């Protein structure tokens, strides 16, 4: 790999990749070879080889055998001399972008339209190395805590959680839906494995074209039993986030350097504020009337992000106790203030990143909150509670939201390989 040159100084090595760029000077030619790990400078001195290399357009696929030489001027401190170049494939035409530029000079729609080639740009693909490392960190942290990975269906018979924004499909002549989350299934599986997680696609027929919404995204879900309340869930979530950051720094260090970003620091204890107290603070600070509102506006979440940084030095803040009126049917109330819930949002730099909380676990409680048609539609789910379920709770992290915040880009489409939204269904 081009990233290994330093370990092979003086040796003859075989590299393979794409012709990223060439410069032809009077006496010598420089060929930049790009592979999955980075870029190597190849120096061509011999005249016939220079002439031959000069015929290779950018994005030619080549194998290069050459000698590794230390060179202070070369990127990375090493370059390849005396190369023998074998061409494996030649592009049919020049790419729509100049991939050699430090930053890709193109508008987002054009980048997305031409993803197969745009994603080859080192800065664009770096975000996806961070995404992959985040996934690995999510799983390894939970594996170490005794969680079992599960796979639950994405085609479901009932539009369960809300009914809104759900994709319908024809399923062998019947109506079916794409799952908006694995919520109900992961709860059922707490009855089997106590602690479970799933990483997979979820689907929302979100009609609004915003930077914060996708019609399909990757949800990192966890659920655990035998908790006291939502605080136990928050503790697991904190460990998971710390594990994700640690795995990024271990596995995607090159991508972090490529992007010049600073990874978030997850405090040993993430500060918490009750929803009601947050509203009081916001009122006091802004003069706006917000107490009594059932949710926080994005501007107020941003204000709380600044508050958490100023007051606690933290990029993260738990807002606990959202009003029951805005939470889904399975939400557990706050025992001493039942208009509020044992649920939380985690704000990361002032933007909602994770939603979680404690769920109802008594069968009778579900019978109280669900009307008859819902009880019928959710019969298989309700069986878990009918036959005994422990106190439990969990959370869901949107992978693209996480990656976007870590990378520092505003639009989720910038951290999605092939995004889906109200206007986009290809490539």
Q: Where are the alpha helices (DSSP H) in 177-319?
A: 183-193, 230-251, 253-259, 275-286, 298-312
Please pick, from the candidates 65, 82, 161, 194, the single residue that binds its own copies as defined by CB under 8 A.
Answer: 194
* CA gap 51, 245 in Å, rounded: 47
Binding letters toward its own copies, positions 53-72, x by CB under 8 A:
------xxx-x---------
Please pick, from the candidates 52, 110, 151, 368, the single residue that binds its own copies as defined by CB under 8 A.
Answer: 151
Size of site (CB under 8 A) for its own copies: 98
Question: Minimum distance from CB of 203 to its own copies (Å)?
Answer: 7
Stretch that binds its own copies, among 262-270, 274-282, 305-313, 417-425 (CB under 8 A): 417-425
Residues 75-104 that bind its own copies (CB under 8 A): 88-93, 95
Question: Minimum distance from CB of 278 to its own copies (Å)?
Answer: 31
Is 235 one of the binding residues for its own copies (CB under 8 A)?
no
Of 416, 407, 410, 403, nearest in space to 261 by CA: 407
* CA gap 212, 411 in Å, rounded: 6
* CA gap 338, 321 in Å, rounded: 10
Question: Minimum distance from CB of 84 to its own copies (Å)?
Answer: 16
Question: Minimum distance from CB of 51 to its own copies (Å)?
Answer: 21
* CA gap 350, 38 in Å, rounded: 34
Is 144 one of the binding residues for its own copies (CB under 8 A)?
no
Is 313 one of the binding residues for its own copies (CB under 8 A)?
no
Is 370 one of the binding residues for its own copies (CB under 8 A)?
no
Is 160 one of the binding residues for its own copies (CB under 8 A)?
no
Question: Minimum distance from CB of 247 to its own copies (Å)?
Answer: 11
Please pick, from the candidates 77, 163, 201, 294, the single residue that binds its own copies as defined by CB under 8 A.
Answer: 201
Residue 311 Cα distances to 303, 316, 318, 350, 352, angstroms: 12, 12, 14, 14, 19
Question: Minimum distance from CB of 95 to its own copies (Å)?
Answer: 5
CA within 13 Å, CB half, 233: 30
Is residue 347 within 8 Å of 316, Cβ to Cβ? yes
Is 374 one of the binding residues for its own copies (CB under 8 A)?
no
Is 412 one of the binding residues for its own copies (CB under 8 A)?
no
Is 401 one of the binding residues for its own copies (CB under 8 A)?
no
Residues 339-368 that bind its own copies (CB under 8 A): 361-364
Question: Minimum distance from CB of 259 to its own copies (Å)?
Answer: 16
Is 250 one of the binding residues for its own copies (CB under 8 A)?
no
Is 109 one of the binding residues for its own copies (CB under 8 A)?
no
Is 218 one of the binding residues for its own copies (CB under 8 A)?
yes
Is 410 one of the binding residues for its own copies (CB under 8 A)?
no
Of 59 and 234, nearer to its own copies (C-beta) is 59
Residue 149 Cα distances to 141, 196, 224, angstroms: 12, 6, 12
Is residue 420 within 8 Å of 214, Cβ to Cβ? yes
Of 160 and 314, nearer to its own copies (C-beta) is 160
* CA gap 193, 187 in Å, rounded: 10
Three-point CA angle 96, 101, 103, nearest 5°: 95
Stretch that binds its own copies, among 266-274, 302-310, 318-326, 387-395 (CB under 8 A): 387-395
Is 425 one of the binding residues for its own copies (CB under 8 A)?
yes
Please state, as a whole number, how many other Cβ atoms lie within 10 Å of the Cβ of residue 391. 19
How would DSSP label each residue in 151-201?
---SEESS--S-STT--EEEETTEEEEE-S-SHHHHHHHHHHHSEEEEEEE
Residue 171 Cα distances to 151, 162, 168, 175, 177, angstroms: 20, 20, 9, 6, 9
Is residue 53 within 8 Å of 17, Cβ to Cβ? no
Question: Minimum distance from CB of 174 to its own copies (Å)?
Answer: 6
Longest distance between any two alpha carbons in the chain, whole Å: 84
Please state, as a whole number, how many other Cβ atoms lie within 10 Å of the Cβ of residue 170. 8
Is 207 one of the binding residues for its own copies (CB under 8 A)?
yes
Is 157 one of the binding residues for its own copies (CB under 8 A)?
yes
Strand partners, 14: 65
Residue 307 Cα distances to 91, 272, 301, 303, 314, angstroms: 53, 11, 10, 6, 9
Is 226 one of the binding residues for its own copies (CB under 8 A)?
yes
Is 418 one of the binding residues for its own copies (CB under 8 A)?
yes
Please pick, from the candidates 69, 108, 117, 145, the single residue that binds its own copies as defined by CB under 8 A.
Answer: 117
Of 220 and 347, nearer to its own copies (C-beta) is 220
Residues 1-20 that bind its own copies (CB under 8 A): 1, 16-18
Of 290 and 367, nearer to its own copies (C-beta) is 367
């Amino acid at each position: 790999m081009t990233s290994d040159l330093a370990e092979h100084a003086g040796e003859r090595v075989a590299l393979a990749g794409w012709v990223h760029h060439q410069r032809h000077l009077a006496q010598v030619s420089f060929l930049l070879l790009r592979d999955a790990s980075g870029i190597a400078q190849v120096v061509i001195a011999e005249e016939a080889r220079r002439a031959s290399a000069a015929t290779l357009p950018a994005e030619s696929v080549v194998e290069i055998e050459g000698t590794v030489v230390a060179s202070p001027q070369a990127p990375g401190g090493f370059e390849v001399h005396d190369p023998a170049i074998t061409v494996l494939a030649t592009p049919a035409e020049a790419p729509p972008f100049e991939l050699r530029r430090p930053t890709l000079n193109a508008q987002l729609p054009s980048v997305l339209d031409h993803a197969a080639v745009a994603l080859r740009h080192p800065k664009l693909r770096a975000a996806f190395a961070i995404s992959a490392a985040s996934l690995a960190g999510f799983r390894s942290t939970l594996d170490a805590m005794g969680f079992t990975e599960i796979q639950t269906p994405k085609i479901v018979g009932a539009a369960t959680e809300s009914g809104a924004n759900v994709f319908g499909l024809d399923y062998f002549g019947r109506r079916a839906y794409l799952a908006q989350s694995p919520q109900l299934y992961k709860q059922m599986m707490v009855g089997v494995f106590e602690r479970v997680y799933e990483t997979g696609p979820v689907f929302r027929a979100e009609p609004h074209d915003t930077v914060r919404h996708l019609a399909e995204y990757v949800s990192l879900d966890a659920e655990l039993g035998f908790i006291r309340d939502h605080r136990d869930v928050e503790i697991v979530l904190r460990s998971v986030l710390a594990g994700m950051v640690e795995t990024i720094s271990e596995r995607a260090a090159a991508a972090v350097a490529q992007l010049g970003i600073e990874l978030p620091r997850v405090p040993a204890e993430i500060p918490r504020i009750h929803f009601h107290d947050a509203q009081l603070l916001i009122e006091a600070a802004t003069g706006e009337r917000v107490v009594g509102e059932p949710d926080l506006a994005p501007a107020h979440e941003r204000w709380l992000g600044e508050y958490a940084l100023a007051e606690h030095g933290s990029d993260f803040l738990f807002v606990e106790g959202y009003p029951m009126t805005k939470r889904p049917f399975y939400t557990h109330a706050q025992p001493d203030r039942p208009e509020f819930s044992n649920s939380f949002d985690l704000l990361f730099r002032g933007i909602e990143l994770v939603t979680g909380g404690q769920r109802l676990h008594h069968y009778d409680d579900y019978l109280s909150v669900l009307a008859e048609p819902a009880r019928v539609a959710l019969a298989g789910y309700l069986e878990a509670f009918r036959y005994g379920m422990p106190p439990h709770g969990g959370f869901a992290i949107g992978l693209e939201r996480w990656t976007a915040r870590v990378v520092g880009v505003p639009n989720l489409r910038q951290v999605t390989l092939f995004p889906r939204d109200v206007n986009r269904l290809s490539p």
